Each structure stands twice: as C-alpha cells, then as structure tokens.
C-alpha cells in the first residue's frame, strides 16, 4: 500500500519534472505522463496549472506542454562547463606556482649577486638587479622590499627597453647620479617606498 509521501503532490511534481528533463525538446504528452506516473490526469493538471502560472511551462497543444524555464536542460552542459573551468583554474594555479618559484629563484640569485664581493665594488649593482628582475616577471614593491639586501637602501625599479644604457658618472655617498639612455623607447623609473601601504 502506498504511503502518504508516495502519493504527495511534491513527489509527483519531482517525477513530472524528471519526465520533462528526459524529453529532448522539453515537450511532454500529458496523457503519457499520467500513464507513466500512474496517476489520474487531474493530478497532472494540478502540477501543470501551477507551473504554467509561474511561466515555467506553456501549452503547446491540447495535451502537450513545453518547458519554458531555464536550468533544467542545462544541467549536463553546465556540468561540462564547470569541469572545463575547474581544469582551467587548476592550470592557472600550476602556472602561478611556477611563476612564484621562478620569482623566488630570481630573488635568491639577486641576493647572491648582491652579496658577491666582486659585485659590491659597483654601487649601482642593486639598481641594475632590480631592473633585471622586473623584466623577468611582474614584480611588486613588496617583492623588491622582501629582498634582504635591498632593506634600508634606496631602491629604484627601472623598466626600460633592450639596449638601454646605464651610467653612473661620479659616485659619492652624498651625491649619487644615475643616467639612463634609450633609443628604443621610453624608460620608466619607479622609486620603491620603504613602507608599503595596502
């Protein structure tokens, strides 16, 4: 014997929606629905009247209705799209990890070059290393300030085209001049602040 739940309008509606979902064009024959669901046709009309009232279905002919809402027939397509997006997201995450690793490697190499006794004789080495780093990847002020050898120093980031010439004509601790010259395009120079505000 069927329980009250088995004969409820809510369960019957779910079964009716499943029939709509199984229909390739969203059209259902109400006579067939009554047979398949083993209910009187007036119970099917109870469902269709509500669905038609909220404009989720429309009468296509005397005994045929068609789904007009969205979502019910897009489940498979939506799942495929979500899978593709998850794959793209995973690939972007892998790329981000690779870039982060490359930036860490660059920072280590820059630190090693700055700590090298031979390079310390050249006072402009920090500037050229920062410029070199900015050509490799997107670099923020925080990235530059995170390099220990740049702390408590004036840090300038230079974005310049290839073959830019850099000269330090006269170096003294009080008066430091840096000359940049390019024939291949504009040169951008950024002073990296000591304290970064978000």
State pLDDT tens for residues 68-89: 866 555 556 667 787 888 889 8
Distance spanning both ends of the chain, measured CA to CA: 68
The pTM for the full model equals 0.34
pLDDT band at 172 (very low <50, low <70, confident <90, very high): low
* Domain definitions of the chain by residue range: 9-67, 74-98, 141-192
State pLDDT tens for residues 114-160: 676 665 555 544 444 444 544 445 677 777 777 777 777 778 888 88
CB atoms within 10 A of CB 175: 7
Please, what is the average pLDDT of the chain? 77
CA–CA distance, 158 with 166 (Å, rounded to integer):
10
Asked if 189 contacts 156 with a C-beta cutoff of 8 angstroms, the reply is yes
CATH 1.10.10.10 at 9-67, yes or no = yes
């Amino acid at each position: 014997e069927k329980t009250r739940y088995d004969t409820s309008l809510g369960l019957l509606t779910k079964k009716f929606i499943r029939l709509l979902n199984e229909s390739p064009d969203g059209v259902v024959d109400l006579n067939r629905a009554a047979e398949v669901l083993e209910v009187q046709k007036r119970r099917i009309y109870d469902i269709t009247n509500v669905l038609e009232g909220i404009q989720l279905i429309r009468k296509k002919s005397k005994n045929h209705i068609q789904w007009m809402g969205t979502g019910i027939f897009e489940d498979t397509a939506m799942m495929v799209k979500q899978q593709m997006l998850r794959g793209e997201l995973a690939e972007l995450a892998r790329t981000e990890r690779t870039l982060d690793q490359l930036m860490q490697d660059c920072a280590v190499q820059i630190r090693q070059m700055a700590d090298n006794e031979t390079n310390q004789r050249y006072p402009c080495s920090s500037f050229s290393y920062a410029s070199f780093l900015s050509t490799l990847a997107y670099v923020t002020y925080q990235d530059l300030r995170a390099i220990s050898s740049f702390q408590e120093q004036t840090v300038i980031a230079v974005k310049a085209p290839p073959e830019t010439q850099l000269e330090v004509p006269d170096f003294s601790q009080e008066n430091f001049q840096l000359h940049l010259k390019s024939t291949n395009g504009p040169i951008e120079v950024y002073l990296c602040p000591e304290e970064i505000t978000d």
